[in-house]
Chain A
Amino acid sequence: MSQLLLDVNGLTMRFGGLVAVNGVNLKVKNRQIVSVIGPNGAGKTTVFNCLSGFYIPTEGSVMLKNKQIAGLKDYQISRKGLVRTFQHVRLFQKMTVIENMLVAQHRHLNTNLISGLFKTPNYRRLEQEAMDHAVHWLKEVDLLEFANREAGNLSYGQQRRLEIARCMVTQPELLMLDEPAAGLNPNETKQLDELIIKLRDEHEISILLIEHDMSLVMGISDHIYVIAQGTPLANGTADEIKNNPDVIKAYLGEE
C-alpha cells in the first residue's frame, strides 16, 4: 500500500565554498503529504532545485520509484512524474489560461509538423483530449470561466491555482509545491488546504511541500522534515515536530 515514491539520501549542494544543502534525507511514500520546513535561508528551495534538476546536486542520491534521477536534466525529471511549482509564480503571462494548460501537455500531443499542418485525425484526437483534460483541471481549481483570459490578468490566488492545475495536467506522481500559500489571504489558504488534500485523496498523488504557514503545514502533513542551515534537524509527525526542542530553538533562537 504505502510504497516508497521518493527516496533522497545524503543530498548535498555546494556553490564554490558555500555549502547550501548538507546531507539531507527525505522519504515520500505514495499518497502522502510531506512538508519541508525551516527558517529563511535554510536551503529549502535549493533542495527543490536539486530534486527537480535545476541544479545538479554535488553529492547524494535521489531515487524516484527506485530509479536514480540525480543528474538528469530538469525536463527529463519532470517527464518522469516529478513536477514543481515556484516560489514566485511562473506562468506564461501573455498566454491565455487554456493555452497555459495546453503547453503543459506538450509532450502528450502530436508535435509532428506534417500532421499538424494537415490536421490528421490523430493530431485532432490528441488535441481534443488535451483540451478535455485541461477543461477538467480548470474545473477542479475553479478557473474554467477564465479559460480564455490572459494568465497575467488573473488575481494572485487564481494564478497560484492555475500553476497547480498546470502541473497536474502533466500527470505527475509527485507534486512539489514551493510556498504555495505565500501571499494568499486566509480564505484562499483554506481553499488551497482543501485542494492539496483532495489531490492526495482523490487523485492519489504525493505532495512535497515547502511552506512557512505553520497552521497549514501542521494541519495537512503526514510527515514533516525540518532543515536549518542546509542540515537536517529533525523529522516526524506534526505533533513530534511541535514538541521537538531543537526545532523550537532553531525557530526562536538560543535562549
Chain B
Amino acid sequence: MTTNKFYNAIFAAGITLILACLMIGVKLDTSGTQLAVKGATTAQWTWIGGGIAIVFLSQLFTNQIDALFRMIPKPSISTMLPEEKKMATLKPWLIAGAIVIMVIWPFMVSRGSVDLATLTLIYIMLGLGLNIVVGLAGLLDLGFVAFYAVGAYTYALLSQYFGLSFWVCLPISAGMAALFGFVLGFPVLRLRGDYLAIVTLGFGEIIRILLNNWTEVTGGPSGISGIAKPTLFGLEFTRKAKGGEDAMTFHEYFNLDYSSSYKVIFLYLIAILLVCFVIYVINRLMRMPIGRAWEALREDEIACRSLGLNRTAIKLSAFTLGASTAGFAGAFFSARQGFISPESFIFIESAIILAIVVLGGMGSQYGIILAAIVMTILPELAREFSEYRMLLFGLLMVLMMRWRPDGLIPTKRPHLELKQQ
C-alpha cells in the first residue's frame, strides 16, 4: 500500500512536470516580428519545482491531508452564539449596534476605504440575490450578471433620456430586472439543472452582445457616462447644483464647505440602507412558505410535485426575486459609478458572484456577507497579486467543492417553537 502510494506520488509529480513545462516553462514571445519562444527564468523554474514538490508530497500524504481538512472545525452559529432564548433578547441590540457602527464608521476612515466598503456592499447585495436562486432554490444561474446589467442600464437610460431621479428608478430597475428574469425563466426553468446553467450563461452573453451592439440606445462599447448621482430629498452632492434655478446642493443647504467625501459617504449610507432592506426581505422570505418551498425544491423536486407544489411557479418566483435584487444592485452601481459599459457585465462578474455564494455556503446569509467582504477586500489588500485574483477564485471554487461544499459557514436550520397541545 505504501509503495503503491509512493508510485502514485511519483506519477503525479511527473504529470505536474509535463503540465508545467510547456505552459510555464516555455513562453511565447511576441516582441519580435516573428513568433518565438523563450525559456522560463530561473525564478519560474523554482516555482515549478516547488509546485512539483507540493504535488508529490500531497499525493504521498493524501489521507492525512484529507483528515486535516476534516478536522478544521465547522463553525456552527449555534455553538458560537449564546442560547436560543438569550439570543432572542440580545439580537435586536446586536443588530442596532452593528448598524450604528456601520453608520459612524465612514466618518473616521479614508475616502478610499469608504468607497471600497460601498463596492463590497454591492457585492453583498448581488450575493444575497444569487443566493436565492442558487443557494435556496438550487438553480444554477450563470448569467446572473445580465440582470445586474438590466438594472444598471435601466437607471442609466431613464436618467439620461427622461431625467428620472435615482429614487424613482430604483424600484423600476428592480422591476425591469424581475421582468427579464420572468421572461427568461418562464420557458427555461423546466430544464434540468445543468442545462439551465448553460442557458443562463448564454442569456448573459446575449444581453452583453446586445448592449455592445445596440449603439443608438446603449452607446455600444463606449457605454453611458454622466449618469446622475442620487440626491438627498433633492439636494445634490455636486459642487454646483445642476438641477435648474432653485436646485440646491447639500453643502449649500447645510452651510458646509464643499467636500467630495460627503458624496462618497452618502453613497455608502445608501448602500447600507439598501443592503439592510435586502437582508430584511430575504430573511423574511426564507421563513415564509415560499422560502421553504424553494429549499424543498432544491432538496427533492419530485417529492415537491407529489405534494401539490407547482414547481414552475416556485422556481419562477426564486428566479424573478433573485433577478430583481440584481436589478436593485445594478441601479445603485450605475448611480455610484456615473458611468457604465458592457465591460462591467462580463461572465467573470457572474463567476465572482457565484464564488461568493459558494464560499459563503449556499443558503447561509451570514456566510455570504462574510464571503463578499473577503472576496472584495482581499484583492484590494494584495494589489500586486491582482493578476492572480481570478486564478485564486477558480482554485478556491474547486477546493471548496472538494472539502467544504457547504461553505465556510453552513446554514443553521431555523428552530420552530411548537405549541404543545
Residues of A within 8 A of B (CB): 52, 54, 73-76, 78-79, 83-84, 86, 90-96, 98-100, 102-104, 106-107, 109-111, 113, 116-117, 127-128, 131-132, 135-136, 139, 144, 147-148, 150, 166-167, 170
Contact = CB atoms under 8 A, between A and B. Distances in A.
B413 A170 contact: no
Contact of A131 (B284, B299, B303, B416): B416
Contacts of A98: 416, 418
Given A90-B300, A91-B300, A111-B289, A166 B413 contact: no
A127 B302 CA distance: 24
B304 interface: yes
A56 to B, nearest CB: 14
Interface string B285-318: 1001110110110011011111111110000000
B83 to A, nearest CB: 14
B413 A52 contact: no
Nearest to A77: B308
B33 interface: no
Q: Is chain A's binding surface mostly helix, strand, loop or mixed?
A: helix
B307 A78 contact: yes
A2 to B, nearest CB: 27
B416 A150 contact: no
Given A92-B300, A92-B303, A104-B307, 7 more contacts: A52-B306, A92-B295, A92-B296, A96-B414, A98-B416, A106-B293, A116-B290
A117 B307 contact: no
Contact of B288 (A73, A91, A116): A116
A131 B413 contact: no
Contacts of A109: 289
A51 B18 CA distance: 58
Interface string B387-416: 000000000000000000000000001111
A134 B293 CA distance: 16
Given A96-B413, A150-B413, A107 B308 contact: yes
Contact of B290 (A54, A83, A113): A113
A19 B302 CA distance: 24
A148 B290 contact: no
Contacts of B304: 75, 103
Contacts of A78: 305-308
B289 A110 contact: yes
A99 B284 contact: no
A90 B306 CA distance: 10
A117 B284 contact: yes
A137 to B, nearest CB: 12
Given A74-B306, A83-B306, A103-B304, A116 B289 contact: yes
